[in-house]
């Protein structure tokens, strides 16, 4: 298993993976829109036997109010082909993505996801830091993780995603 940065020749396959994993085209469309937006992205693929079977993307988000001096990334989406799910591929993608976010200078990462899955990587409900999502979601599914210890100590507010997310 290789986790690597996406290449241009992976784009169509990444679209297929997102459609098969989510059962709809919306996440594939989101990934393409984010690429076209020109914002800095971390986009990784999982490759096995020279075949791309998983994908994860991180894009910048903002926290309004008191957090202008920290850089935060949002994990979304993450997809693994259904036949390869529950084999640790998603975990490998998340771990490498978090590592690259830290290397890129992000202080924290947010995710809207399964509360049974993401805490294993260090994510906690964002309300722990008095931070909430711009979307009306249950508190336990919107999580945050500090990459730089203490970076969220005096931070509070609402996380705002890139306008591309409004298409979902």
Which of 53-67, 82-96, 101-115, 126-140 has the least mean pLDDT? 53-67
**Does the pLDDT at position 167 exceed 80?**
no
Which of 80-84, 104-108, 145-149, 162-166 has the least mean pLDDT? 162-166
Note the CATH number of domain 2-167.
3.40.630.30
What is the structure's pLDDT at 66?
72
Minimal CA–CA distance to 98: which of 73, 63, 68, 61? 73
66-111 residue pLDDT tens: 777 789 999 999 999 999 999 999 999 999 999 999 999 999 999 9
Q: State the Cα–Cα distance between residues 66 and 157, nearest whole angstrom.
A: 7
Domain boundaries, the chain: 2-167
**Does the pLDDT at position 136 exceed 90?**
yes
Q: Which residues contact 101 (CB under 8 A, 6 or more apart)?
A: 42, 58, 73, 109, 147
Determine if the peptide bond prior to 34 is cis (ω within 30°). no
Adjacent-strand bridge partners of 59: 74
What is the structure's pLDDT at 111?
98
What average pLDDT does this structure show over 14-26?
96
What is the structure's pLDDT at 69?
79
**Does the pLDDT at position 6 exceed 90?**
yes
**Does the pLDDT at position 2 exceed 90?**
yes
Instruction: For the chain, give the mean pLDDT.
Output: 95
pTM across the whole model: 0.95
Please give, one letter per residue, the 3-state secondary structure of the chain: CEEEECCHHHHHHHHHHHHHHHCCCHHHHHHHHHHHHCCCCEEEEEEECCEEEEEEEEEEEEECCCCCCCCEEEEEEEEECHHHCCCCHHHHHHHHHHHHHHHCCCCEEEEECCCCCHHHHCCEEHHHHCEEECCCCCHHHEEEEECCCCCCCCCCEEEECCHHHHHC
Instruction: Quickly state the pLDDT bin for 168 (edges 50, 70, 90).
Output: low
């Amino acid at each position: 298993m290789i986790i690597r940065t996406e290449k241009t020749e992976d784009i169509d396959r990444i679209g297929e993976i997102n459609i098969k994993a989510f059962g709809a085209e919306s996440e594939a469309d989101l990934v393409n829109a984010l690429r076209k937006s020109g914002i800095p992205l971390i986009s990784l693929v999982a490759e096995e036997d020279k075949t791309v079977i998983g994908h994860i993307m991180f894009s910048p988000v903002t926290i309004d109010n008191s957090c202008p001096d920290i850089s935060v990334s949002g994990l979304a989406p993450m997809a693994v082909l259904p036949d390869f799910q529950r084999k640790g591929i998603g975990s490998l993608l998340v771990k490498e993505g978090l590592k690259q976010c830290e290397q890129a200078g992000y202080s924290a990462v947010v995710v809207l996801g399964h509360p049974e899955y993401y805490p294993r990587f260090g994510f906690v409900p964002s309300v722990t830091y008095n931070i909430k999502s711009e979307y009306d979601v249950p508190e336990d599914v919107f999580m945050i993780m500090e990459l730089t210890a203490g970076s969220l100590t005096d931070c509070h507010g609402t996380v705002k995603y890139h306008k591309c997310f409004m298409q979902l």
